[in-house]
Amino acid sequence: MPRLRANISGKRLQELVAAALEVFCRRGFERSQVADVAKVMGVSAGTIYLYVEGKEALFDLVIRHNASEDSAWLEDLEIPVPTPQPGSTVAFLREVLDRKGQWPMLEKALSTRKAADIRSELDDVLREQYRLMTRHRAGLVLLTRSALEFPGLAEVFVLGLRKRLLDCLGQYLRARIKSGQVRPLADVDATAAVLTQTIAWANLQRPFDPGLNAFSEQTIEDSTVDLIVSGLLI
C-alpha cells in the first residue's frame, strides 16, 4: 500500500484514533462530529480531513484499530482513509466477532459432562469473561454506545456475539444443574443474562463512577466473580 505522507506519521494516526475513540464512546456514532475529534486533538476540523475522508471513515478506522493486536499497520495506511463501502465496516466486525476459540475455558467446560471441581471451573469461566471485557473495555463501550446508531451494528454485536455467548452460558448452566453441581435456577437464560450484565457493569460502567475509584481493579474482579460463583453453587 502507498506510504504515508512524509509529514503524517503512524504515531499521529494513533493519536487520531485515540481521540476519535474517546468521542465515539462518549457521544455515540450519531451525535459525534469530526469537529468534536478535532477539538480533543487540539487541531482544526480541516486537519482531520487530511487523515480521513469523513466520520464513516474515522469510525471504520477506530473499529479496525481496536480489533488489531498492534498498530504497525498504521505506518502503511493509505491516507486520507477513504469512506468505506456500505456494509464493509460491519462485515469486518462480523468476521472478527465470529472467530472461533474466543472462550476456551467455557468451551472446555461445555465439552465435559461434570466438573471435577465446580467452584474452580466456575471461577475460570467467569474470570475468562471478566478479563476479556477488561481487555476490550474501550471497544465494547464503543460498540454498546453506537449499536443502535450505526447500520447493522446491533445485528452483529447484540444479536450476534452477545446472543452466542448467552446461548453457550445457558447451555453450560443447564449441564451443571443436571449434574447436580449448580443449584436449580428460576430461569437459566435470565441468569446467564444477569451474570454477563453484572460483569459488564463492573467493566463498562463502574470505572466511570467517581464514587467507586477507591477500589482496585483486582478487588472488583475478585468480588464480582466470588458473588456470582457463590450465588450459583448449591
Assign residue 60 the CATH number of its domain.
1.10.10.60
On whether both 48 and 140 belong to a single domain, the answer is no
Q: Which contiguous run of DSSP H or E holds residue 91?
A: helix 88-97
Q: What is the mean pLDDT of residues 86-95?
A: 96
Q: Is 1 domain-assigned? A: no
Whether the CB-CB separation of 234 and 178 falls below 8 Å is answered with: no
On whether both 16 and 78 belong to a single domain, the answer is yes
Q: Is 112 domain-assigned? A: yes
Q: Is 192 domain-assigned? A: yes
Q: What is the mean pLDDT of residues 171-181?
A: 98
On whether both 171 and 108 belong to a single domain, the answer is yes
What's the predicted TM-score (pTM) here?
0.88
pLDDT at 72: 81
On whether both 151 and 226 belong to a single domain, the answer is yes
Q: Is 3 domain-assigned? A: no
Joined grid coordinates for residue 188: 437459566
Is pLDDT above 60 for 5? no
- The Cα 37–Cα 17 span in angstroms is 9
Percent of the chain with pLDDT over 70: 96
Q: What is the mean pLDDT of residues 61-66?
A: 94
Q: What is the mean pLDDT of residues 115-136?
A: 97
Query: Domain total for the chain?
Result: 2
pLDDT confidence tier of residue 89, bands split at 50, 70 and 90:
very high
Q: Which residue has the higher pLDDT, 7 or 181?
A: 181
Across 7-16, 90-99, 194-203, least confident range: 7-16
Evaluate the CA torsion angle 158, 149, 210, 20 in order and state its sign: positive
Q: What is the mean pLDDT of residues 48-56?
A: 95
For the CA atoms of 145, 14, 61, 127, what is the dihedral angle to 10 degrees?
A: -50
On whether both 205 and 139 belong to a single domain, the answer is yes
Percent of the chain with pLDDT over 90: 85
Coil, strand or helix at 52: strand
pLDDT at 8: 63
Coil, strand or helix at 11: helix
On whether both 70 and 101 belong to a single domain, the answer is no
Q: What is the CATH number of the domain that holds 203?
A: 1.10.357.10
Q: Is 5 domain-assigned? A: no
Of 27, 54, 84, the one marking the end of a domain is 84
Q: Is 4 domain-assigned? A: no
On whether both 19 and 103 belong to a single domain, the answer is no
On whether both 131 and 206 belong to a single domain, the answer is yes
Of 84, 109, 137, the one marking the end of a domain is 84
pLDDT at 4: 45
Cis before residue 80, ω within 30 degrees of 0?
yes
On whether both 79 and 108 belong to a single domain, the answer is no
Coil, strand or helix at 233: strand
In DSSP terms, 81 is beta-bridged to: 52
Which pairs from 112-118 meet CB under 8 Å and 24+ separation? 113/175, 113/179, 114/176, 114/179, 114/181, 115/176, 115/179, 115/181, 118/176, 118/181, 118/182, 118/233
pLDDT confidence tier of residue 6, bands split at 50, 70 and 90:
very low
pLDDT at 228: 98
Give me the phi and psi of 52, to 5 degrees please. -135, 155
Joined grid coordinates for residue 171: 447451555
Q: Is 184 domain-assigned? A: yes
Is pLDDT above 60 for 2? no
31's CB contacts (< 8 A; 6+ apart) are none
Q: Provide the residue range defining the domain that includes 116.
A: 95-232
On whether both 210 and 102 belong to a single domain, the answer is yes
On whether both 70 and 140 belong to a single domain, the answer is no
Evaluate the CA torsion angle 194, 172, 95, 64 in order and state its sign: positive
- The Cα 189–Cα 179 span in angstroms is 18
Average pLDDT taken over every residue of the chain: 93
pLDDT at 1: 38
Q: What is the mean pLDDT of residues 22-39?
A: 96
On whether both 128 and 175 belong to a single domain, the answer is yes
pLDDT at 76: 82
Is pLDDT above 90 for 46? yes
Of 46, 62, 84, the one marking the end of a domain is 84
Q: Is 161 domain-assigned? A: yes
